[in-house]
Structure 1
């Protein structure tokens, strides 16, 4: 069954998160996704707050820009969240938007090398190992978590280029595709991810998650067109967004599910009139129609 999530977009004020998270939890939404976009909101702080405000909701940060964070810190934060809220949190790793990384003085010359070193070290740390490594970017000397998670949470990674997608398949458990990915692009990404897993000798399954801009309501077409323009997407609106009532959106989602998406994360438009109603819509009206 295709899993559904919804995004609390960072263009909304942080103080709005509490109401949205509680609405999602009460409605039975499977996953609420957060972004650490520069320079809006912190992913880990937001995730911890959302988890504390809710009882059942899984909260996913997709993604953390790894150039901004030492891997030991990310391991501590992921372990703490897992111990405090078992099975309810996941942190994803991404290259970060390179212009933003340059603004923060953290731009890596080789994002692919950084991601490989970072993901490998993070998996080992969350697996309870004592890690010593001397790499191009990641350097640890006998680092071991004191408060280890009872079970290491899945490792999420996200990217868009062919080399990065193969790497995601090599090192990740969940691979995240950016908004603007068409069904055809989803199928191509799935193939590249599987190439990476085969090259690494991995036989365990991988989950493919994709962001998809969505809108409902009488003005959904206008809002989707504005979102399409805001994000500078070049594909036709209908190939990168879904809109309408629950039946229309469910029918649209099948294109991405058939292309290989295991999780579809619905991204509301920035001018969504009620984020609370949006997460309720996904959980109570759309979920029953998506199998």
Structure 2
């Protein structure tokens, strides 16, 4: 299997279940464990730090940190801290957040796209060790620089659905997180992402992460075959990373981990 594989620990599971999932993922050889920061369940950064501390090789990713909830200086400080503690194993992602939730906590904005652009640009530059001055519509920073930028700057991914956000991910980020596993759409996003990166004059390959869901309780004996086919289909469409979540009654990803392990 050429794609990077991952599973999602859904925040519908209590935080105290995380360690058992981390240990199962580490032992299986799966490449990445993904966490959500959905309102009002579990903090993505706190859960990521715990997961990283309980593992040695597993990469831990957040898909996504809702940018309206944090000042970009705070976002960069937190990401830099985790990245320095666990170099090469932390993958942060930024996104609009669910707009209804953002309004619910008084963090809604008129232009989520503008905020995401300003926030992503500031975080990227801060992590790179730059001094940032910004006087945007939402982001205002005056000679801000991190005292402890990460020696190994982590990938900064952007969650996207529409063309404009995919283009932003290619221009400013290191890749995109896509919550659609329709192969035709994945193929289209691959092209959009590559074109946006080239137009911005950026070198290197942008990572395309695709979420896909399945119910482990539905035909358990066929789960491994079902996942192998899904991985092959999405990889062929241009996905670099395929991340699986449970769509069944139980959010526990351990049955998925067991089915993926023989495919690695």
Query: Structure 1: where are the runs of 5+ without partners?
Result: 222-242
8 Å CA contact 1:90, 1:156 repeated in 2 = yes
Q: What is the Cα deviation at residue 270 of structure 1?
A: 4.7
Aligned residue in 1 for 2:188:
188
The equivalences for 1:113-262 within 5 A come to: 113-178=114-179, 180-217=180-217, 219-220=218-219, 244-262=222-240
TM-score w.r.t. length of structure 2:
0.94
Q: Distance in 2 between matches of 1:168 and 1:146?
A: 26
Superposition map of 1:79-118 within 5 A: 79-118=80-119
- The 1-side partners of 2:169 and 2:49 are apart by 26
Taking a change above 3 Å as real, the CA distance of residues 35 and 51 of structure 1, as seen in their structure-2 partners, is: same
Q: Residue 265 of structure 1: CA displacement?
A: 0.3
Helix, strand or coil at the partner of 2:16: helix
Does the CA contact (< 8 Å) of 2:216 and 2:255 recur in 1?
no
SS at match of 2:116: helix
Number of positions where the alignment pairs a residue of Structure 1 with one of Structure 2: 263
Q: Distance in 1 between matches of 2:49 and 2:203?
A: 33
Given the alignment of the two structures, is residue 272 of structure 1 paired with residue 247 of structure 2, yes or no? no
For the residues of structure 1 that align with 2:236 and 2:254, how far apart are their CA atoms? 29
Distance in 2 separating the partners of 1:18 and 1:159: 29
**Secondary structure at the residue paired with 1:21?**
helix
Write out the 4+ residue segments of structure 1 that deviate beyond 4 Å after TM superposition.
none
Instruction: Give me the CA root mean square deviation.
Output: 1.7
1:141 alignment partner, SS class:
strand
Displacement after TM superposition at 1:210 (Å): 0.4
Q: Distance in 1 between matches of 2:201 and 2:89?
A: 29
Secondary structure of residue in 2 paired with 1:245: helix
